Structure 1
Amino acid sequence: MSYCTNIDCLRPQNSDSSRFCNSCGQELLLKQRYRPLAIIGRGGFGRTFLAIDEHLPDQPKCAIKQLCFQEGNTEVWHKAVKLFHQEALRLNELEHSQIPKLLAHFEQNQKLYIVEELVDGQTLAQELQQKGVFQEPQIWEILKSLLVTLQFIHSRQVIHRDIKPENIMRRSVPGDLVLIDFGVAKFATNMRQLRTGTIVGSPEYIAPEQMRGKALPASDLYSLGVTCIYLLTAVSPFDLFDITNDRWVWQEHLPAKHTVSDRLCEILDKLLQNAISQRFQSATEALQTLEQEPKKLPNIPNYQRLTPINYTPLRDLLAKGKWQLADRETWDLMCQALAKPRGSYIFSSDIDKFPCEDLETINHLWVNYSHGRFGFSVQTLIFKHVNGDYGIFCHQVGWHIYNSSYANSGLNFSLKAPIGHLPSRISIGGSQPWRYPNALTVKLAACGIGV
């Protein structure tokens, strides 16, 4: 079957041997060698065809992208043409086993065409739909494979800018991953003089700085992180981000009995940082972390650390009654005890992994210097007293039902605050805050910690 590429053709299907379309009369062969067979994809500016190359003896299959003119929008058309030419240039420069090979680039009948190697396989989006959510070993595979690819393209000053499951394909044989669709790739010729440009990419996966028209190599890393948490949860990235509290809550959406190691959580969380300075700066840095992390975070029972935690600053702040600074220091210490980056949110699932000796030390300091008013054990006692009713518990300790930032929390950093008011819940992440006091209660009981 031959397929006519005339977008206005009413009957585009033709016989294998036809030279001209029986319906509209347009020549079927592109560049007198490529015969389109069927449409396999559609986008904002054109279509992708499955085709064969009739000039070669074995008539290998290939993929042909067609850019179509949109009447009445000259500015958009010129932008699309520019991006289309850029894709051809980028593909020509990027010779890599995990990037489709460019076969041809030409214009015919006032349409632009790119002919690429056909990647025989499925996208990760298709895999997710057919097989369900991905497991941790699959995410490690994706990270290690795609980071190598990004390391390569970034070294050529190319930013993909549209990393998402639909643009990552797995070859049927031998099963390796391929990064496709460089149509919006940006040639970063001068990283120091970035200027606001057109926003390109898929909204669910786009990095904050890219949303403002500025793309960096770290923007691709962010999108890779979003891709991974989507594959782990099968939940739209829009729903994995808590806009009210400005943080990711993807761990709360993991399917039942699906666990993710702390090491992977830390790497994904760093890929997902909104602030570029807190994100991996390069694919090389991320790859090095993947290789070095087991040495830095050995699997030692009860989270024993190579470097002891220094509780002196917390003690001194509490002794001076600097409750807000002590609350923030507590957050940092909890991250350190859990081997999480400073400022990372702590989820209810993390509480079960919290080392008992660190939990006991933090609790003791708060209880001691507040004269029994504040501390984890005080909060637990109140939670038990109200029979685990989260709403009543929040009212008793003076918290809002839903978590919020320091600026909007209404917290009272003084001894006049309600009993159990501190440490605050600011450090706790997730869209189901009612899980936190219950998890804390269970953990303190397991550690034998009381008032």
Structure 2
Amino acid sequence: MVWEAGQRLYGDRYIIERKLGEGGFGITYLAKEAPNGGRVVIKTLKDNLLSDRNFSRFRDKFLEEAVKLSVCRHPNIVVIDNYFTHDDFPCIVMEYVPGEDLCKLVERRGILSETEALKYIRQVGEAVIVVHGKGLLHRDIKPQNIMVRDNQDAVLIDFGLARGFIPDRTQQMTCELTHGFAPLEQYAETGRFAEYTDVYALAATLYYLLTITLPTPAYLRASNYHPLKPPFQINPNISDAVDGAIMKGMEMDVTNRPHSVQEWLAMLPQPINLISAKGVDYGKLDRLLASGNWQEADHETKNKMLEAAGRTEERWFRIPDIYRFPCEDLRTIDQLWVKYSNGRFGFSVQKRIYESLGGSGEYDQKIWEAFGDRVGWRVNRREWLYYNYLKFNTKAPQGHLPAGVWSMRSGNSRVGDRWSWFYSLASRLVDCNM
């Protein structure tokens, strides 16, 4: 019987409010704690299992896993608060995580930026490492089982399929899974299961967050008639490193898949510390670049550089301001541009191109014009472009951006009119060992 609102459990300690959902074996309810009115989630077995001849085994296994999971403490793992039996049904009491799961978040907002998606995956990955350290596999990592708190932190929930494992030993496990997120080995009840089983699911979850496309189920991939489409073919804004990590994490052959979550996370681009010597917040620039909004990011770069140099009101740089520009801030800005453009844009990229043409501290019109031609700031090898005619997409030549800082006094200035500023910044990059 499904518990109705008002049902009291465990000596009236918990009062059922409503059903939240159900899976193959379990069913979850939102409940209120009678002493303080706080909300919790209570999970139990579905009542149709009561007539199953293996019910006692299901019940014992359910509570056994609850005991094991109760010691998996991590900020990004749902907290198991209690467990008890009610009318012969085992119950697990967990914290209630307000918010929405990643599946609903993506359906509502669309494809996530690489920065945001990697943040959630890293948080969940670190949580899974703790679970593995306790000798357990989650076996059901997917966007629906990752909640996002109000503070934007991800929380791994629903450990209904979690089982103990011993690496490199053949074991028997229930054949329960979610197509698209389960590796091929999970389709068999008997086999070798290890950390790499959850690695596949983590990679598949990242695939979905960045494409809003369900990965091809492993059993179809095994036929060779339904290959997995690389995620960058669906979302061209995905970086090469992330695309490669996803495909490696979803290798069909476990010997080719990273054997631990730590190993797989190390393949992902590491987050950039948004360091500023002047207290400048580069969060918006990070988000703009992550979403491929190149023109707004170019404007934001100019504004933040003025802020770091203390020239916001004047709206333009003096040469000494550039020579004194904080290395920490210059490094942060450059790393963001280089990262999100896959090495295509950035001040350090422009500097290398300029030097490769023989550029130095002495003004040489031919070299400067050759540089303009190379980065696409000149057309027909004779005319410098006005800022408004630049290209703000990844089809632009290497080194094309950022460019706003070179036309500071007016949005209509030609980008080639500021050689002295360019060289000053190039010199500053050398001083900052960039």
TM-score normalised according to structure 1 size: 0.55
Verify: 1:168 aligned to 2:155, yes or no: no
> What residue is the counterpart of 1:208 in the other structure?
184
Verify: 1:251 aligned to 2:239, yes or no: no
1:198 to 150, 174, 193: 174
Spell out, residue by residue over 1:95-154, the C-alpha distance to the aligned partner (whole angstroms, 9 max, x if none).
111111112111112222111111111110111221122222222212321221121111
Verify: 1:100 aligned to 2:78, yes or no: yes
Alpha-carbon offset, residue 47 of structure 1? 2.2
Verify: 1:48 aligned to 2:13, yes or no: no
User: What stretches of structure 1 move > 4 A for 4+ residues in a row?
Assistant: 239-243, 291-295, 297-302
Distance 2:152 2:96 in 1: 14
1:187 to 150, 164, 175: 164
Distance 1:194 1:50 in 2: 38
Distance 2:47 2:213 in 1: 35
| Cα 1:218–1:13 shift into 2, 3 Å | closer
Distance 2:246 2:120 in 1: 12
CA contact (8 A) 2:26 2:46 kept: yes
- SS at the partner of 2:216? helix
- SS at the partner of 1:107? strand
> What residue is the counterpart of 1:178 in the other structure?
155
| Cα 1:68–1:248 shift into 2, 3 Å | closer
Distance 1:220 1:267 in 2: 14
Q: How many residue pairs were aligned? A: 278
Spell out, residue by residue over 1:431-450, the C-alpha distance to the aligned partner (whole angstroms, 9 max, x if none).
xxxxxxxxxxxxxxxxxxxx
Distance 1:79 1:218 in 2: 27
Spell out, residue by residue over 1:138-188, the C-alpha distance to the aligned partner (whole angstroms, 9 max, x if none).
22212321221121111121110111111111111x110011011111112
Distance 1:71 1:186 in 2: 19
CA contact (8 A) 1:210 1:219 kept: yes
> What residue is the counterpart of 2:360 in the other structure?
none
CA contact (8 A) 1:147 1:286 kept: no
| Cα 1:239–1:91 shift into 2, 3 Å | closer
- SS at the partner of 1:81? helix
Alpha-carbon offset, residue 93 of structure 1? 1.4
CA contact (8 A) 1:39 1:48 kept: yes
Q: Which amino acid aligns with 1:225?
A: A
CA contact (8 A) 2:230 2:243 kept: no
Distance 2:49 2:163 in 1: 26
Spell out, residue by residue over 1:293-329, the C-alpha distance to the aligned partner (whole angstroms, 9 max, x if none).
999x996569xxxxxxxxxxxxxxxxxxxxxxxxxxx
| Cα 1:239–1:183 shift into 2, 3 Å | closer
Distance 2:9 2:188 in 1: 42
Distance 2:180 2:10 in 1: 36
| Cα 1:273–1:97 shift into 2, 3 Å | same
Verify: 1:28 aligned to 2:5, yes or no: no
Alpha-carbon offset, residue 78 of structure 1? 4.1
| Cα 1:232–1:82 shift into 2, 3 Å | farther
> What residue is the counterpart of 1:37 in the other structure?
17
Distance 2:133 2:174 in 1: 23
Distance 1:261 1:291 in 2: 9
Verify: 1:265 aligned to 2:243, yes or no: yes
Spell out, residue by residue over 1:41-76, the C-alpha distance to the aligned partner (whole angstroms, 9 max, x if none).
2222342111111123xx211111122332685245
CA contact (8 A) 2:232 2:238 kept: no
Spell out, residue by residue over 1:403-437, the C-alpha distance to the aligned partner (whole angstroms, 9 max, x if none).
xxxxxxxxxxxxxxxxxxxxxxxxxxxxxxxxxxx
Q: Which amino acid aligns with 1:180?
A: I
- SS at the partner of 2:182? coil
Alpha-carbon offset, residue 246 of structure 1? 5.8
Between 1:190-199 and 1:125-134, the stretch displaced more is 190-199
In the TM superposition, what are the counterparts of 1:24-423 in structure 2 within 5 Å?
28-56=8-36, 59-70=37-48, 74-75=52-53, 77-172=55-150, 174-188=151-165, 190-213=166-189, 214=191, 215-238=193-216, 243-245=223-225, 247-251=227-231, 254=234, 258-290=236-268
Distance 2:77 2:266 in 1: 22
| Cα 1:29–1:152 shift into 2, 3 Å | closer
Q: Which amino acid aligns with 2:154?
A: L
Q: How much identity, in percent, do the aligned residues show? A: 25
- In structure 1, the gaps of 5 or more residues are 1-5, 15-26, 303-351, 356-451
CA contact (8 A) 1:222 1:271 kept: yes
CA contact (8 A) 1:106 1:114 kept: yes
